Every structure is written in structure tokens, then in C-alpha cells.
Structure 1
Amino acid sequence: MLMVASGCSSSSPPPAKGPEPAAAHLVLWTGGTHAFTASVEDDNIIGSRISLHRASIASPASMEFSEGPGFQGSAYDIPVNVSFDGASARGIFGGGPLNLDVIEGPAGVMRIQGIVGNAQTSFEVGANHLSGYVGRCTYDLKRTTAPFRYEGIRSCGRGSHRARVEITKPIVEWTPIETATLLSLALAR
């Protein structure tokens, strides 16, 4: 179950406007330059830049985990094959590894650390904010009045944009590593 935290700025930017998705979903919107939407139907995660199946799959031979729950498909047209074992995810994202670990902290904070397709990843999700970095992008988002909806700034390279991340059921009810892996894939581009 997702519990969320971390933060930097004391002032909140104006609400970011962007696509309004259907019921069960994950949305990442950044200043009109990028929109990622995903809906969950049974064990399929389908959206604007994602097509994953959530099920029991065999890990690639080079990974340490055997058959188990995981994601298989693509995100941003990049192949994904990931297995979960407790609080860890191991697999591939394109030509690079996807190795993530979730550390659950006090007050429901979830810290995600590892590598997503050769990009270092370290971010926290808590009740009041989502912050940290995935690859070349950093996030400093604060929770709005809606549960699991965060708005703020996304900085990638030289540019910064307003951003919004919104997560609903059933995604917030998955295991922390499943939720963290899906978030990492969405935030990776």
C-alpha cells in the first residue's frame, strides 16, 4: 500500500493543468511538454506510453530472481521485463538493468533507490510530497488537497516545468515495490 514524503520548497506553485484521466490511473503531466497516462484493467496497465502486464513471469536468465510476480511489456516503447521479490525489483528496461529497492520509513514514507535503464534513481513518496530524482530529472512535488495527487516542479537538464503526478486505486493498494516500479517507469522520461 502506498504511503507517501520529502520536500524542499516552502511555497507551492499554481496547480498544473493537464489531461484528466479515467478512474483507475496514474498520470504524469509536465508543463504541456509531456503527458503519461496509464489505466489499470484487470492485470493490464495500458496508457499513452505504456503497455504492461502484471503477472507471474519468468525472469531473464541474467537476473537473480526465479519465476514470480512482475511486469512485462513496454514503457515509452522500451521493453520491460521485471520480477519482484519482497521489497526488490530486478529485470531489464531497454538495454539496461532495472534494479530497485523500496525502504519503508516512519510515517509511511517510501524511499525508492536503484537503477532504471542505466539511470540512477533515488526518490521518496510520502503523505505530503514526492521528491528526488530518476535519471536526469529531479522532482519537488507537494500533495494537493486530493489524496495521492502531487504538484510542483520537475527539472531535467537545463529546464524546469510545472508537473503533476496523480495515483489512484488500485495502484495505491499494490505492494510498495509494484507501485514504486510503475512510478519509476513513468518518471524515467
Structure 2
Amino acid sequence: MLMAASGCASSSPAPSKGPEPAAANLVLWTGGTHAFTASVEDDNIIGSRISLHRASAASPDSTEFSEGPGFQGSAYDVPVNVSFSGASARGIFGSGPLNLDVIENPHGVMRIQGIVGTAQTSFEVGANHLSGYVGRCTYDMKRSTAPFRYEGLRSCGYGSARTRIEITNPILQWTPIETATLLSLALAH
């Protein structure tokens, strides 16, 4: 779980300013104008730019990428079909691969590495920071006063923008690879 990886207990973050729905379990704000929200309802992840089903087993119409637990649906209007095995995710995002691995260290830092579509990915999530890159965008963020709320800068080659990421339950209770995959999809655009 991300809670164990980042070494702090989870509680609901303080209400945030902006138009995101109160029930959002993942919020990404960039520059005050770009919002990515995701709310978890049963086995569905629905939001401003995402519509995924969180499968716990293969469905009868599964493809070669969905032979076990995984996500199927779309993010940023492109198809997502990914399976989880241990600390790895393998599948597709759009017309490219989605291959991620999570490495947890004993100090509570989770490193996510791989590729999301065409975006090389390497970032860390710890108790006090979220930093690294997804594709052409780099993130340098620190944890704010609320648990699992990170604030800082996102730079995508055309300047930097203030960015905020908030993560709440039930996402914090998922396996590290599930949480990392959803976070990587959010950061990939």
C-alpha cells in the first residue's frame, strides 16, 4: 500500500480550493487551469479524463493483456488495458505499451519506472516528496500539511506551472502497483 510506502497514516485531506468534486480520490491540478480527477466507485474509476474498470480477475472477453487483475477502459481519450502481476504492470496505453515496475525501499520511498505510451517514466513517491519525470514533464513536489497532498512544480519544456496532487482512500489502500499505475496515467498527459 502507498500508506506503508510513504510512512504516514492516512486521513482525509483538508478541503481544497477549485472545482473538483468532493468525492474525488485523486486530483491533479496544474497551473490552476488543468484538473484531472478520478473517483472510485466499486470497481470503477471515473473522472474528468478517465473511465476505467478495476478488474480483480479476467473477464470473458479479455485480451492477451488482461489475464488477471488490471485496469481496462480509457484515460485522456485513449484505450488502457493493463494487467498487474506482483510489482509490475504490463499492457497498452493508446498505441504504445504501458510497462511499469514499482520498487519499494525500506525507508518508505516507492520508485516507479517504465513507460506509459511513449512516455519514459521514472519518479519517486515518499512521505515528503513526489519527484521525477513522466515523458517530457518533470515533477518536483513536496508534501504539504495534508497527508498525501503534494505541491510544487511541473515543468514540461515550456516553463513551470504550480501543481498539486491529492490522493485519498480507497486508492491509498490498493497495492503499490495499482496506485502507481493510476498516478502514472494521471501524470502522463
Q: Secondary structure at the match of 2:37?
A: strand
TM-score, normalised relative to structure 2: 0.88
The runs of 5 or more residues in structure 2 that have no matched partner are 8-15
Amino acid at match of 2:41: E
Q: Secondary structure at the match of 1:36?
A: strand
Q: What is the match of residue 133 of structure 2? A: 133
Report the Cα offset of residue 24 of structure 1.
5.1
State how far apart, in whole Å, the 2-side matches of 1:148 and 1:35 are.
17
Summarize the alignment of residues 1-189 of structure 1 with structure 2, pairs less than 5 Å apart. 1-2=1-2, 3-4=5-6, 18-23=18-23, 25-55=25-55, 56-57=57-58, 60-61=63-64, 63=65, 67-189=67-189
State how far apart, in whole Å, the 1-side matches of 2:58 and 2:101 are.
19
Amino acid at match of 1:140: D
Post-superposition CA distance 1:50-103 (Å, at most 9, x none): 000001236643x5xx61100000001110000000000000000000000000
Tell me, yes or no, if the aligned pair for 2:20 and 2:37 is still in contact at 8 Å. no
Tell me, yes or no, if the aligned pair for 2:142 and 2:152 is still in contact at 8 Å. yes
Amino acid at match of 1:154: R
Tell me, yes or no, if the aligned pair for 1:57 and 1:83 is still in contact at 8 Å. no
TM-score, normalised relative to structure 1: 0.88
The runs of 5 or more residues in structure 1 that have no matched partner are 6-15
Tell me, yes or no, if the aligned pair for 1:88 and 1:102 is still in contact at 8 Å. yes
Query: Displaced runs of 4+ in structure 1, greater than 6 A?
Result: none
